[in-house]
Homo-oligomer: A and B are copies of this chain.
Amino acid sequence: MSTKYLEDFRVGEIFDTDPTSLSTEEIIKFAKLYDPQSFHLDPVEAISSPYKGLIASGLQTIAVAFGQFIRLGYLTESSLGGPGIDKVEFTLPVRPENILTTTVEVLEVRKSKTKKDRGIIRLKFLMSANGSPAVEFVSTTFLLRHHSLGVK
């Protein structure tokens, strides 16, 4: 896919990512580094947790969903990074080998008033695990505008 600049996005537009999954090993590896709680770390201890088995850290699931969108390639040349994320909701645990698919909807596209070469895009992410909604959040990203290419 080729890069999209600010003007190339339309409110309401929806992008589907390629499916992916997390293995037991990937879930444990992330948990050891960033979220060492027993239901993310230890498949045996997790059985007696409220989740009755190993689940991925919510932080890992956001990261997977974001990465799925980045890999579509739309922001490769246009992203200037983002100021924040909002409204993260973990509605269903993500388990090893669940098929994870994410849809990304454009909520807002806005030119910057102060910096003529860029604008802001707000995207709503919805990740499903085996077809059921599991994680959602809204990201904000600074994006270059088309004519920024000429002023670089």
The reply to whether the CB of A129 lies closer than 8 angstroms to some CB of chain B is no
Interface size class of A (residues with CB under 8 A): 35 or more
A63 vs B80: C-alpha distance in the bound complex, in angstroms? 21
Number of copies of this chain that the complex holds: 2
Residue of B nearest to A69 (CB): B35
Q: Are B83 and A90 in contact (CB under 8 A)?
A: yes
A14 vs B66: C-alpha distance in the bound complex, in angstroms? 31
Residues of B within 8 A of A76 (CB): 37-38
Residues of B within 8 A of A37 (CB): 70, 75-76, 79, 81
Known: A34-B60, A57-B63, A81-B93. 4 other contacts (CB 8 A): A36-B67, A59-B59, A59-B62, A86-B86
